[in-house]
Amino acid sequence: MKSNVIKYVFLVIIAILLIFAIYKVNSENANKKGTNGSDGNGLSKDITKEIKLAVANLDTMNPILSKNKNVQEVGKLIYEPLVNITQDYKAEPCLATEWAKSDENSYIVKLRENVKWSNGESFNGGDVRFTIDRLKEIDSIYSYNVQYVIGVDVVDDYTVRIKLDREIPFFEYNLSFPILSKAYYEGENFTQTEKNKNPIGTGMFKISSLNDSNFELEKNNEWWNKKEKNAVIEKIIVNTNTSMAAVYNTFKMGNIDFVNTANLNYTDYIGTLGYSTKEYEAREHGFIALNTQNPLLANLEVRQAILAAIDKNNIVANAYAGKYYVADFPLGYGNWLDYTENQNPTYNIELSNKLLEDSGWTLRRGIWQTTVNYRTQKLSLNLLVKSSDTNRVNIANVIQAQLAQAGIEIDVISVNDNSFNAKLSAKDYDMVLVTSDVSASPDLSTYFGDDNLANYANNEVTEIMKTVSNSTDENVLKENYKRLKEIYKTEVPYISLYFSKNVVLYNTSLAGEVSPNWFNPFYNIENWYK
């Protein structure tokens, strides 16, 4: 009997030990999954809340003085604009909460209250006027944003009036430059070169240390944006390399987590293994303007036939090794006002032939011809191109060959920069191959406004341009931009060819959505971790 009791006690003890062991294992597993012992965001305590970035050739941390694209990008984590640009290129409030035209040439801007600089001082309208005044005085990447500003009145601490020398459609998009602290930057601090001075901003992160080899950012506890204060990333270390080649090598060695580059031959430096990539549309838009005042190009069917005879995919393959995007409209596919769902190729030789035949042209000895006032008229045009841009010259030659196959004779006029600019100004061309940098603003005055490159006029377009420049109704804007795109593609005053491409390279252990655009490669960084 006694032995049975001892046996039962022994079994109970074993059972207790087994239950405790199972509980312990389950508890540890829960901790690893973040379901127990998490950091408060539902994430395991084992995750890394620090990431490493890099810049090449650091010049200055003053964002409006820096000529360094990497510095400007990192600066978006430290400094903030009045108006932010979203991932789909929409203007949204940041340091400004609202804005409105007070008359045709001026804006009233209401500023966000209770915003602190990272040193604890208050942000106000004086900082806005100080920043704009500096941008008017210096050569800055952001000087373009304020080129039409003729004055800033500080109405009160949280209201400013910005006066312009003309009406600027969608001017609020121009307010996307970083704002500086007047109290901090006034005087010698504005052009500071000392590495031991830490500039201040109002953004998600602040500079905690700055030296010759790197600078460190930490979460800015003074940040006004309560919604994002629970960002996972707490620290960012930014290595300051001497060149982009050094940045690539540092990335290849696994010592940085993220690189943004326009160099699409990056695999020459880092190979193809051990990292992830995300490509996105960059700013360069290449297109042909067709001079609609030319007697031949005034004919809609001729313009449409030229469009149908151009193989854009072949152009991108020849000039950019297939590493650019084919384009069909200046806004780009990521813009909230671009109606493109799928890219529709326009290359169709049969359609080109039919358009010309139906409008009275005849193909003779490989060239389309027609009779005008009893005289034979060949479909022969010139294409102006800048000789200093070898890629553009290459594209012009490809277009010449493609249109020759379609029976359209093209004479490529390749001239130096001065001659090109003179001919451009005088509209001395039949067609011209140009590039422009896409703006965050959806303003299409370059293409449809007065004195446009295509000499194109259309009463409906004129009315649409007036409507969109004076509307803030998103449905009205979407409807009118949809119509603008239809006109652009059917009337063919321009032929969009390509958009350039950028790419971000990032560590495979970096978790969270990486979703860059050309305005800011760090969207969603608050949710990144390793």
- Nearest by Cα to 79 from 176, 167, 8: 176
Question: How many whole angstroms separate alpha carbon 140 and alpha carbon 180?
Answer: 14
Question: Could you tell me the two tokens for 380?
Answer: 């022969």
* Report for 44-48, 166-170, 413-417: range of highest mean pLDDT: 413-417
CB atoms within 10 A of CB 303: 24
And the tokens for 399?
A: 């277009």
Q: How confident is the model at residue 194 (pLDDT cuts 50, 70, 90)?
A: very low
- Find the range with the poorest average confidence among 56-60, 143-147, 388-392, 405-409: 56-60
The enclosing H or E element of 268 equals helix 267-270
Give the residue, 131 or 232, on which the prediction is more confident. Answer: 131
pLDDT at 219: 92
Pair 322, 330: CB distance under 8 Å: no
Quote the radius of gyration of the chain (alpha carbons, Å): 29
Q: pLDDT by residue (tens digit) across 111-165?
A: 999 999 999 999 999 999 999 999 999 999 999 999 999 999 999 999 999 999 9
Report which of 94, 109, 111 is spatially closest to residue 223, judged by C-alpha positions: 94
For residue 413, what are the β-bridge partners?
Answer: 384
pLDDT tens digits, 278-288: 999 999 999 99
Phi, psi for residue 175 in degrees, rounded to 5: -85, 25
What number is the average pLDDT over the span 473-479?
94
Report percent pLDDT > 70 for the chain. 88
What's at 211, amino acid-wise?
A: N
Task: Specify the pLDDT at position 221.
Answer: 86
Give the pLDDT band (50/70/90) at residue 32. Answer: very low
Strands 494-507 and 275-290: antiparallel
Of the candidate ranges 130-144, 175-189, 351-365, 425-439, the one whose mean pLDDT is the lowest: 175-189
For domain 51-274+508-527, the CATH class is alpha beta
Residue with tokens 């508890």: 27
Rounded Cα distance between 199 and 180, Å, is 9
pLDDT, tens only, 320-360: 998 999 999 999 778 999 866 545 567 999 999 999 999 99
Residue 35 has pLDDT above 50, yes or no: no
Question: Do residues 346 and 304 lie in contact, with contact meaning Cβ atoms separated by under 8 Å?
Answer: no
**pLDDT at residue 222 in the model:** 86
The reported pLDDT for the residue numbered 30 is 40
Please give the Cα distance from 285 to 281 (Å, whole number).
10
Give the per-residue pLDDT at 374: 78
Give the domain ranges of the chain.
Answer: 51-274+508-527, 282-502
Q: Do domains 51-274+508-527 and 282-502 have the same CATH topology?
A: no
Give strand pairing partners of 164: 149
Q: Under CATH, which number does the domain 282-502 receive?
A: 3.10.105.10
> What average pLDDT score do residues 12-21 get?
57
80 or 34, higher pLDDT: 80
Q: Mean pLDDT lowest for which of 219-223, 296-300, 426-430, 454-458?
A: 219-223
Per-residue pLDDT of 394-420, as tens digits, reads: 999 999 999 999 999 999 999 999 999
- Predicted confidence band of residue 192 (pLDDT cuts 50, 70, 90): low
Residue 212: predicted pLDDT: 78
Has residue 390 got a pLDDT over 80? yes
pLDDT of residue 332: 79
